[in-house]
Amino acid sequence: MTETVGIVIVSHSKDIAKGTADMVRQMVGSEVKVAFCGGNPDGGLGTSVASIIDAINDAWSAKGVAILVDLGGAETNSEMAVEMLEPAQRDLVVVCNAPIVEGAVMAATEAAGGSTLAQVRAVAEELSAD
């Protein structure tokens, strides 16, 4: 099996994160590694840097990891999580500016074809283009 870009889904809600991951798996299949997290460190709505770092490691691929987020705090916490990775890992993780559900499905579809991290990100971010 050739390595593909991994996908991480970060929502304020664990239910949304899981539901998005379920859709990706059903629509794209299991050849792409997908990890998700949602909820603050107490389990309420929010995001957790520690959980995001764990999810990045779960979805880790030598080709890199693309992160899809919902609202502002998920983005800020994801960027913080990326900065806290080892330098060698850090350069292989991107936070995509894309809607979370559509972005995750499009990114995973692109990743399944063996695309690079830059290609995966570009396809997800096209959804946010004017």
Partner 1 sequence: MSLQPETFKSLVKVAAEQVISCAPELTSLDQAIGDGDHGINMKRGFEAVLGKLDAISAQPLDEALKTIGKTLVMTVGGASGPLYGSFFLAAGEALSHDKHLPDDLADVFGSGVNAVSARGRSQAGEKTMLDVLVPVLETLKTAAGQPDLIARVRTTAAEAVERTAPMQATKGRASFLGARSVGHVDPGARSSCVLVQAVCARLEDRQ
Give residues in contact with partner 1 (CB under 8 A).
Answer: 40-42, 44-50, 71-73, 76-77, 79-80, 84
Give me 57's structure tokens.
């490691």
Cβ atoms of 114 and 2 closer than 8 Å? yes
- 20 or 47: whose CB is closer to partner 1? 47
Cβ atoms of 22 and 35 closer than 8 Å? no
Q: How far is the CB of 110 from partner 1 (least distance, A)?
A: 26
Q: How far is the CB of 118 from partner 1 (least distance, A)?
A: 21
- 20 or 77: whose CB is closer to partner 1? 77
SS3 content of the chain, % helix, strand, coil (to 5): 50, 15, 35
Instruction: Indicate if 12 belongs to the active site.
Output: yes
Residue 60 is given by DSSP the state -
Exactly one of 6, 7, 9, 12 is catalytic; name it. 12
Q: How far is the CB of 44 from partner 1 (least distance, A)?
A: 8
Give me 21's structure tokens.
């991951």
> Would you name the residues annotated as active-site residues?
12
